[in-house]
Structure 1
Amino acid sequence: MNNEAPGNRFHGLLGNLGKLTSIRDTELVEQSLLRTLGPLLGVLDTELYRLDESQTVVRVIYSHRSKVVDSDGGARLVERIEEITNPGDLPAEVVALTDNVRLLRRPCTRRQGDQVLIAYPLVGDGDVHGYFLFKRDREVSPNEDTVIRGVLEVFSNYYALLDVSMRDRLTGLFNRQALENSFERLWTAVGRPTSVSAEDDTPGRRGLPSHSYWLAVIDVDHFKRINDTYGHMVGDEILLLVARLMTSIFRSTDLLYRYGGEEFVAIINAETAEIAHNIFERVRLGIAAHHFPRIDSLAVSIGYAAIAPNLLPVEVLSRADRSLYQAKQDGRNRIYDYQELVDTGVFKDVDYAEPEFF
């Protein structure tokens, strides 16, 4: 693997696994995996590919280590983590290799000149959820293969446990805790849409400019009346159906959370306010058109606001919530954009307060 003594490598591996399983953030766990396996395998570059339910790559995390010589002549290794969402077209050799990994459900290799591209599957609940890739000048030895498989198994099992803790039990959506945990990363992505040094433990994302992200608060209209009339079991069934409808309408790259009760939060990217409005309108119309059991019809109200790096998350959430409240006051079953309400004089652009859901 490298020139370290086996005992030192084993001690280092245990230490890294201890750090990995002490992290309570799924994306930081992914970074920790790359930091663990890269030095262990003696490679500077490692890659992690994440799949959605349709087996499409939706995120790629790159880890790169390089030697930097300081002005005093001292040398040190600097690591950079780069995360790319919606990667688009992947290199042909990566696609061909990972297709084989997915079909065979085992590691595969592909020679590129004097280098070997090596890919391992990330498996959970019998399905392939991603790939771990690296490149070097030789094949994996049996001992290395055993270590890689073991580390990936620990990672997948721990990742699954973290993912469950961040899910709402009824709907399976991300929960409020997951939203609050994600705010720092999301605002980093908005404010710095390029890769950053891994020393600050915050992933950089190369993606859309800061004005292209939007946060919406979505509320089921007259939900208390449904609970009071038909009971909580029917109410839970309605919430589950609403969650599944929204999941099918929103894109796989959009983030959807159950914030509490009948309230949901969505975070999307869109190039313009008009496109963002159209996305939320599709959600409203899709729910209005659906035939729910026991009730004649169902509607949702939506308030949304643009995300900007100079605004705190709670301020954007408050803006979306104020817009939602205005939609409720004006008759429900409608969508309001915070900025539009400011521009038309309905709202004054004031400092935020704690969001107050209802």
Structure 2
Amino acid sequence: MNELDHDKLLESIARLTEKRNRLSLEICLTQTMFDLLAVEEIALYRCEADQANLLVRVDHEGCQVPSDDLDDLETMIPVATDAGFLACVQEQQVVVEPTAQGNRHTFPIPRHDKLIGFLRLVASRDLREDHRLVEGFVQIYWNYLKLIEDNERDKLTGLLNRKTFDDKLLEILHASRRSAQAKLRREQPERREGDGGKHYWLAVLDIDHFKRINDTYGHLYGDEVLILMANIMRSSFRRADLLFRYGGEEFVVVFKTRALEDAHNVLERFRQNLERYHFPQVGQVTASVGFIQILDLEVAAELITRADKALYYAKEHGRNQVCSYEKLIANGALAVPDDHFGDIELF
């Protein structure tokens, strides 16, 4: 490696360690390695259950980040159906396969004894001498990803924290807008409820009478309630759903499903699971829930405001229930809002 290559390598590592969230780190990793190694294509996948989910792909046409459409089979590949992924899992080392563009190199990304992802490169030249360099970048990625993940988590419950919520919601809104614009350019109507389309929903969950729990049993038991609440959320929602501790006894869930009734059923299942659970010393704990659909043109701060309105309605009308903002507007229980926020994002 000559002096110019050394300089490029140091600059690449410096760019990686500047990143402060997972998506920017992943984009930087793939783009940097694409430029440094002069390959035809590079893609990063996250391994979840028995599936490889595409995070980012870089080729000569540019960088592509999936719009997170759960029905897009190109971005969600069962490991058992892909020979390279399957061999990588079984052998726990780089796998090389011939393709029309050249050799395809699939690198495992391990975390302790578990495989958390794959890095896949396609190159028309021989990459074998660069395998150690790629493995070094994979190790840097994993080490720095661990620091980012620790910073994204609430220390008490282990759920994602408020700062991460702000970032994730903006990412979702931007991705939804990009997806909607792409569909318009292709002159394909956006899928709606009833024809297989899935939408994001945002729910605010608030523990009922939490101050009374703290005052009666003390803050140690209050903290235990929060920890157990987080565990019940993990068991009630899917792995792909985003679970946050928003602050105090308030939590947020962002998830995808097709229709309003489906979203209500998902949240009602959680409410019932919580209601049935016996908390040590405290006994029964309940929560109120307000939720809203995330639309492409929404302002981020206004989404929380409207979900909160549905939550406050649930609190004021008996607690321990799930309320939809859209339904409350439709039946006149809440006033129709004045939309004077323009395109300004308030986070």
Q: TM-score range by the shorter chain?
A: 0.7 to 0.9
The 8 Å contact of residues 50 and 57 in structure 1, kept in 2 or not, is answered as yes
Distance 1:24 1:18 in 2: 13
- Taking the aligned partners of 1:50 and 1:195, their CA distance within structure 2 comes to 26
Q: For residue 151 of structure 2, what is the aligned residue in structure 1?
A: 165
Corresponding residue number in structure 2 for 1:132: 119
Which residue of the partner structure matches residue 245 of structure 2? 258
| Separation in structure 1 between the aligned mates of residue 290 and residue 309 of structure 2, nearest angstrom | 7
Alpha-carbon distance change, 90 to 12 in structure 1, aligned in 2, over 3 angstroms: same
Matches of 2:256 and 2:86 in 1, distance apart?
29
Partner of 2:30: 34
Question: What secondary structure is seen at the aligned counterpart in 2 of 1:181?
Answer: helix
Whole-Å separation in 1 of the counterparts to 2:316 and 2:209: 13
- Cα contact 2:34–2:42 (8 A) shared by 1: yes
Q: Provide the rounded CA distance (Å) in 2 between the counterparts of 1:218 and 1:162.
A: 26
Structure 1 residues 339, 163: closer, same or farther in 2, change over 3 A?
same
Matching of residues 1-358 of structure 1 within 5 Å: 6-52=2-48, 54=49, 56-66=51-61, 79-83=62-66, 85=68, 86=70, 88=73, 90=77, 95-112=82-99, 115-142=102-129, 144-193=130-179, 212-351=199-338
**TM-score of the superposed pair, with normalisation by structure 1:** 0.84
- Residue aligned with 1:192, SS: helix
How many Å apart are 1:148 and its aligned residue? 0.8
> Given that residues 243 and 253 in structure 2 are in contact (C-alpha distance below 8 angstroms), is that contact kept between their aligned partners in structure 1?
yes
Q: Could you tell me how far apart the structure 1 residues matched to 2:207 and 2:199 are? A: 26
Partner-residue secondary structure (3-state), 1:188: helix
Amino acid of the structure 1 residue aligned with 2:205 = I
**Identity over aligned residues, as a percent?**
31
- RMSD over aligned CA atoms reads 2.5
Q: Measure the CA separation in 2 of the matches of 1:244 and 1:94.
A: 33
Tell me, yes or no, if the aligned pair for 1:55 and 1:129 is still in contact at 8 Å: no
Amino acid aligned to 1:181: D
Q: Distance in 2 between matches of 1:351 and 1:224?
A: 33
Cα offset for 1:249?
1.3
Following TM superposition, by how much is the alpha carbon of 1:268 offset from its aligned partner in structure 2, in angstroms? 1.0
Say which SS state the counterpart of residue 58 (structure 2) adopts. Answer: strand
Amino acid of the structure 2 residue aligned with 1:313: A
Instruction: Sort the Cα spacing of 1:339 and 1:113 in 2 relative to 1 into closer, same or farther, 3 A.
Output: closer
Structure 1 window deviating more from structure 2 (208-217 vs 158-167): it is 208-217
Q: Is the 8 A contact 2:162 2:246 kept in 1?
A: yes
TM-score, normalised to structure 2, is 0.86
Whole-angstrom distance in 1 between the partners of 2:305 and 2:340 = 6
**CA-to-partner distance for each residue in 1:200-254, whole Å, 9 max, x for gaps?**
xxxxxxx977981111100111111111111111111111111111111111121
Matched residues in 2 for 1:92 and 1:226: separation?
46
Give 5+ residue unaligned stretches, structure 2. 183-189, 342-347
Q: Deviations over 1:276-330 (max 9, x none)?
A: 1111111111111222211221111000111112221110100000110010000
Q: Give the whole-Å Cα distance in 2 for the aligned partners of 1:117 and 1:94.
A: 16
Residue 324 to residue 222, structure 1, CA distance change in 2 (3 Å): same
Counterpart residue identity of residue 25, structure 1: N
C-alpha distance in 2 between matches for 1:303 and 1:107: 47
- Tell me the SS of whatever aligns to 2:270: helix
8 A Cα contact 1:214 1:269, kept in partner: yes
Contact 1:59 1:84 in 2 (8 A): no
Contact 1:217 1:320 in 2 (8 A): yes
In structure 2, what residue type is equivalent to 1:224?
A: K
What letter corresponds to residue 65 of structure 2 in structure 1?
A: E
Q: Which amino acid aligns with 1:14?
A: L
